[in-house]
Amino acid sequence: MKTVFKKPESLTDAKFHYCPGCTHGIVHRLMAECMDELNIRESTIGICPVGCSVLAYDYFNCDMLEAAHGRAPAIAAAIKRLMPDRTLFTYQGDGDLASIGMGEIVHASVRGEKITVIFINNTVYGMTGGQMAPTTLLGQVTTTSPYGRSKDNEGYPAKMAELLAQNEGSAYICRTAVNNPSNVIKTKKAIKKALQTQIKGVGFSMVEVLSTCPTNWGLSPLDSMKWLEDNMIPYYPLGELKVKEDK
């Protein structure tokens, strides 16, 4: 018998605190598998956000720093500049990255910081109880858009991958989802490519992962997967938006 699947070394033994069926756990694992496969665990420094994944420092088995809300890209950029041969990643939710941290992420991408960003788009603020995020879809009801998000009142949802892809400094930008096995495999490939882009020194890399928040969506884990497919993918199309091969 050969083992086809076991916990990657780049994760600790700690149990995730996430809600049942929350896809944060899948993305953590994919990231850790990529670190294992690229053999970079010991040279990687991860920055976790403020949001449901704030405790990610307990889960990734590498040096970790917990950032102030939205500031992870600035922190990662500084560490990368001081230690260019380390691999830096940030792991951020949509409130963290696309709202309060909009300035930091845009400038990291504009400048072409050689860091990798894992961006979890689940359309809501998970940790604080399901408030509206910049990525909340039009018509979507949240605790702070109780009548459904409207373009005239709350404005349009932010398309971060498209926004960042246009920056010269962005070397690899891809949007994926984790709603089914085939998309999970594609997400892992994208994360690996993003890390390789950083290691090659080409520029800024980000994978936007469409994820679920069963708890705040008020859906079962499986129905959440379907909701993601039916509602998120049409507005947030999947695929690579920017692939720069050379420095």
CA distances from 78 to 81, 84, 202 (A): 5, 10, 17
Choose among 110, 98, 115, 131: nearest CA to 194. 115
Size of the site for other proteins (CB under 8 A): 62
Lay out the site mask for other proteins across 173-212 (x = CB under 8 A, - = otherwise).
-------xx--xx---------------------------
Site for ligand SF4 in 43-62 (CB under 6 A): 52
Contact status, residue 48 vs residue 241, Cβ threshold 8 Å: no
Per CB under 6 A, the list member of 10, 18, 27, 46 interacting with ligand SF4 is 18
In which residue are the tokens 């938006």 written? 241
* DSSP letters spanning 32-54: HHHHHHTT-GGGEEEEE-SSGGG
User: Could you say whether residue 242 binds ligand SF4 (CB under 6 A)?
Assistant: no
CA 182 to chain centre: 18
**C-beta neighbour count of 10 within 10 angstroms:** 24
Partner whose footprint covers residue 215, from other proteins, ligand SF4, ligand TPP, none (CB < 5 to 8 Å by kind) = ligand SF4
Only one of the segments 82-90, 121-129, 144-152, 232-240 lies at the binding site for other proteins (rule: CB under 8 A); that segment is: 82-90
Q: Which is nearer to other proteins, 90 or 145 (CB)?
A: 90
Give the Cα separation of 211 and 220 in Å (integer). Answer: 14
Radius of gyration for the chain, computed over Cα atoms and rounded to the nearest angstrom: 17
Partner whose footprint covers residue 75, from ligand SF4, ligand TPP, other proteins, none (CB < 5 to 8 Å by kind) = other proteins
DSSP bridge partners of 174 = 207, 240
Q: DSSP code of 58?
A: G
Q: Which is nearer to ligand SF4, 176 or 216 (CB)?
A: 216
Contact status, residue 86 vs residue 54, Cβ threshold 8 Å: no
Per CB under 6 A, the list member of 8, 216, 242, 244 interacting with ligand SF4 is 216
Partner whose footprint covers residue 64, from ligand SF4, other proteins, ligand TPP, none (CB < 5 to 8 Å by kind) = other proteins
DSSP bridge partners of 141 = none
User: Could you say whether residue 140 binds ligand SF4 (CB under 6 A)?
Assistant: no
Partner whose footprint covers residue 62, from other proteins, ligand TPP, ligand SF4, none (CB < 5 to 8 Å by kind) = other proteins
Site residues (vs other proteins, CB under 8 A) = 1-7, 11, 15-16, 18-26, 29, 41-45, 47, 54-55, 57-58, 60-68, 71, 74-79, 81-83, 86, 103-104, 107, 180-181, 184-185, 214, 220-222, 225
